[in-house]
Chains A and B, each alone.
Chain A
Amino acid sequence: DVVMTQSPLSLPVTLGQPASISCRSGQSLVHSDGNTYLIWFHQRPGQSPRRLISQVSNRESGVPDRFSGSGSGTDFTLKISRVEAEDVGVYYCMQDTHWPFTFGPGTKVDIK
């Protein structure tokens, strides 16, 4: 299985300031079709995960443009340009290139 790692695992942030989460995979996430299947989810306490970004950098409809994804191969990053109170929770990266799809351990974001 493809092992996904994230750093940091805990991220205290100041409202209005930027934040960045790193995600690394144990092998390349480039699919045989040429696409890279890396997803970012956000999960608030007591809620189901919500997909924010797919295929590394494609923001889902309704996701604020302060969220952006980047990266290639095995190294990926989620950035929040200016953190808002509603952004607290756990962020997971997940690869859907190789079965079984696998998640990172999660990064818990809270407000300082």
Chain B
Amino acid sequence: EVQLVESGGGLVQPGGSLRLSCAASGFTFNNSWMTWARQAPGKGPEWVAIIKGDGSAKTYVDSVKGRFTISRDNAKNSLSLQMDSLRAEDTAIYYCILGTGMVWGQGTLVTVSA
């Protein structure tokens, strides 16, 4: 069974940083594109970043470019999202996703507030 378990969310002040992690199991991680998406309270989802299986290709939505970094450790079946210079509008549940939506984790809440 495919499992994706996110961690690392929490409350952070504007301008601060957080690192999200996702532990993956049940599939061949190093062959799989992986994605981070987010969903602000009461809103629809938004794609944030995607990374190729071997880590050689990464793409970001414009609103996070230069502030967020997606990475992976295939030896540990782990996906990460480093979030810097956080803004109030980054407040959302962040989901780790296999491919383009095949399986979603349960999400981790990030709140950016003073």
Query: Which A residues lie at the B interface, using CB under 8 A?
Result: 37, 39, 41, 48-51, 54, 60, 90, 92, 94, 96, 99-106
Say whether A48 contacts B95, CB under 8 Å.
Answer: yes
Q: Which residues of B have CB within 8 Å of A102?
A: 47
- Total interface residues in chain B, CB < 8 Å: 17
Report the minimal beta-carbon distance from B89 to chain A, rounded to whole angstroms.
Answer: 16
Say whether B47 contacts A49, CB under 8 Å.
Answer: no
Say whether B100 contacts A96, CB under 8 Å.
Answer: yes
Closest 8 CB pairs of A and B: A48-B104, A96-B100, A101-B47, A100-B61, A51-B101, A106-B44, A103-B44, A100-B47
Work out how many contacts link A and B, with CB atoms closer than 8 A.
44
The 0/1 profile, CB within 8 Å of A marked 1, for residues 77-114 of chain B is 00000000000000000010000111111110000000
Known contacts being A39-B101, A48-B106, A51-B101, is A92 close to B61, with CB within 8 Å?
no
